[in-house]
Amino acid sequence: MKRLDKLFPGILVPMLFLFAGLASAQTVPQREGPPSQPERAITADPGFGKPTNLRGSLWMVDGRRNLVVVMTSNGIPFDFQVTRKTRIDVNGATATFAELTGQIHNHVLVNFMPEPIGDIARSIEVAGT
């Protein structure tokens, strides 16, 4: 009988907590009929697709990957894909992608389009030394 006295509180107390928790659980009522607003599709981050500017120093030009890297004043590198549509200006004159290699460490302004696949340069303006 003594063992049952010790076992009973050990089982009874946890069961009381269990039943108290079940009793306080609420069910969420189901909405009947069509929803008042259609559900929205999941889309990309709102920042995607909005042209943005970045200033910094031209850090690297990779002709094999059509890529330029710009280092910001606080030391953060940003890479940009350069396409046929990218407008490139050096000291106010139209330039080619190949001419950017001679502009390393010069100040640059990049107008780009953030995309899920990467940042696409729309224009690159290099200011000479």
Domains of the chain: residue spans and CATH: 52-127 (2.40.50.320)
Whether pLDDT at 96 is above 80:
yes
Nearest-angstrom CA–CA distance, 59 and 110: 13
Nearest-angstrom CA–CA distance, 72 and 108: 10
Residue 94 pLDDT: 96
Nearest-angstrom CA–CA distance, 90 and 128: 7
For residue 68, count other CB atoms closer than 10 A to its CB.
27
Whether pLDDT at 104 is above 70:
yes
Whether pLDDT at 109 is above 70:
yes
Residue partners of 101: CB distance under 8 A and separation at least 6: 61, 63
Whether pLDDT at 42 is above 70:
no
Residue 9 pLDDT: 59
Q: Where are the alpha helices (DSSP H) in the chain?
A: 2-24
Nearest-angstrom CA–CA distance, 90 and 88: 7
The beta-strand segments (E) located in the chain are 52-62, 67-71, 77-90, 93-94, 107-115, 118-127
pLDDT-derived band at 22, boundaries 50, 70, 90: very low
Q: In the structure encoding, which two tokens stand for residue 68, read together? A: 């330029």
Whether pLDDT at 55 is above 80:
yes
The share of the chain scoring above pLDDT 90, in percent, equals 55
Name the residue with higher pLDDT: 17 or 122.
122
Residue at token pair 């509180």: 9
